Structure 1
Amino acid sequence: MRQGMAEKEGFAALVLRLRASGVSSLDVLTAVEQTPRSHFVPPQFAADAYSSRTIPIDCGSFMEGADLAVRLLDALQIRPGHRVLEVGTGSGFTAAVIGRLAERVISIDRYKSLITAAQARMEALSIRNVILRQADGSAGLSGEGTFDRILVTAAFQAVPRFYADQLVAGGSLIVPLMTDSENCIMVRLTKTGSRFEREDLFSAPYLPLVPHTAAYL
């Protein structure tokens, strides 16, 4: 009972902060509300589930603060019927919310243990349209056709143009690009013909992408 109240209060505070920053999509906020973030954070960080703090998880990875996670979901502009690729499963929270907005989601991560834990959370929440895989995301995901939306949560040094082949016409990719050795900015790239239209969104704390799947974790 107490956890349920904390969840409601945390979500309400998050909504107020998001509205102040211009995020007001009812579809996105409803999907977030239906996906309890406390199920995705390590137990010792439950009190921070809805805060803007970055939360460490296994394998040296981290969860974005709640504000950033929802801003990314809002920027994706997902519609019913969309197929979505997420590169960087992490805790699985973002994939779970996308699963409530899109028709089908494939989410990949280089760490097997993160995929296994995220899969258990999907099953506990009866989310069945999210497919999780351990895979190397440095070249996206080939062999799965094209996607309406792609979200990448590891930073590239330059625009990863190979993603154009994995997007439908008019589809968009949100990806962090390094602006210097320590900082990156989220960029939305929309496929028009054979090129991308670029829109810079906001800075974010992502780390440079590490290629190859992890052998031991």
Structure 2
Amino acid sequence: MSAGRVIEKEGFAALALRLRGQGINNIELLTAVEQTPRTLFVPPQFTGEAYSRRVLPLDCGSFMEGIDLSVRILHLLSLKPGQRILEVGTGSGFTAAVMGRMTERVLTVDRYRTLVTNAQASIDKAGIRNVIVRQADGSNGMPGEGTFDRILVTAAFPALPRFFAEQLVSGGMLIAPVMISETECRMLKLVKTGSRFDREDLFEVPYLPIVPHMAQAL
């Protein structure tokens, strides 16, 4: 068994135990995570940390959250077959890849060309074909793309972005980090019922404030 395979096997086994301790035992989600080798998505020098809770640096000043947080957020999204997903902030592409295994179609956007290129390569290596990776400025949502069943945002806004909510179907869900103060960022969940929104504050997260406009050089 290759070293990478050992990291995958042992890393996933330890992760599954930790998640079970948090009450996360969604078999479809855990299967999708297991089938999406995270070593394909982490920078090569951090292969040994692929299944750790550590935040890992990516190019362009970006980062990927620890896997526990990543899976916890995916669990909250209640993903199901047939759903259309929008992700704003592709990062490594790992989250989009797992969502692709569980849903109909994922559109994931990032402002950095380097991250988009790397994520696309990793998703291709993982053999996932229903994830579209695009370089775009997601800070105003994705008008012209229709509506989505789920929207996941991984860059923090100063207030809950309304324009995303407008791109949700009725019964749809938005999960996004919002800066509560200069130093505290909290994950929020918004569920749309008709024209009404139910908001729930979830937990603190280490996300970075959103930067509008597309990055030209990177």
With the length of structure 2 as denominator, give the TM-score of the two structures: 0.97
Shift of 1:177: 1.0
**1:66-81 matched pairs, under 5 angstroms:** 66-81=67-82
Aligned to 1:33: 34
Q: What is the identity, as a one-letter code, of the residue corresponding to 2:107?
A: I
In the alignment, is the contact (CA less than 8 A) between 2:40 and 2:125 conserved in 1? no
Aligned to 1:112: 113
Shift of 1:163: 1.4
Distance 1:22 1:188 in 2: 19
Shift of 1:31: 0.3
Aligned to 1:49: 50
Q: What is the identity, as a one-letter code, of the residue corresponding to 2:215?
A: A
Aligned to 1:127: 128
Aligned to 2:216: 215
CA deviation map 1:117-142 (0-9, x unaligned): 11111211221100010000111111
Shift of 1:13: 0.6
In the alignment, is the contact (CA less than 8 A) between 2:58 and 2:64 conserved in 1? yes
Q: What is the identity, as a one-letter code, of the residue corresponding to 1:22?
A: G
Distance 1:168 1:160 in 2: 16
Aligned to 2:94: 93
Distance 1:203 1:22 in 2: 18
Distance 1:3 1:135 in 2: 33
In the alignment, is the contact (CA less than 8 A) between 2:171 and 2:191 conserved in 1? yes
Shift of 1:164: 2.1
Q: What is the identity, as a one-letter code, of the residue corresponding to 2:150?
A: R
SS in 1 for 2:133: strand
Distance 1:2 1:145 in 2: 43
User: Does 2:124 align with 1:142?
Assistant: no
CA deviation map 1:54-113 (0-9, x unaligned): 000111000000000000110110110000000000110000000000000000000011
Unaligned runs of 5+ in 2: none
Q: CA RMSD in A?
A: 0.8
Distance 1:87 1:134 in 2: 10
Shift of 1:195: 2.8
In the alignment, is the contact (CA less than 8 A) between 1:164 and 1:194 conserved in 2? no
Aligned to 2:153: 152
SS in 1 for 2:101: helix
User: Does 2:197 align with 1:196?
Assistant: yes
SS in 1 for 2:140: coil
User: Does 2:22 align with 1:24?
Assistant: no
Distance 1:176 1:117 in 2: 24
Aligned to 1:64: 65
Distance 1:62 1:128 in 2: 24
Q: Report which stretch shifted further, 159-168 or 205-214.
A: 159-168
In the alignment, is the contact (CA less than 8 A) between 1:81 and 1:103 conserved in 2? yes
Distance 1:60 1:66 in 2: 19
Shift of 1:24: 1.1
Distance 1:26 1:134 in 2: 32
Percent of aligned pairs sharing the same letter: 64
With the length of structure 1 as denominator, give the TM-score of the two structures: 0.98
In the alignment, is the contact (CA less than 8 A) between 2:40 and 2:126 conserved in 1? no
Distance 1:18 1:202 in 2: 16
In the alignment, is the contact (CA less than 8 A) between 1:164 and 1:195 conserved in 2? no
In the alignment, is the contact (CA less than 8 A) between 2:111 and 2:136 conserved in 1? yes
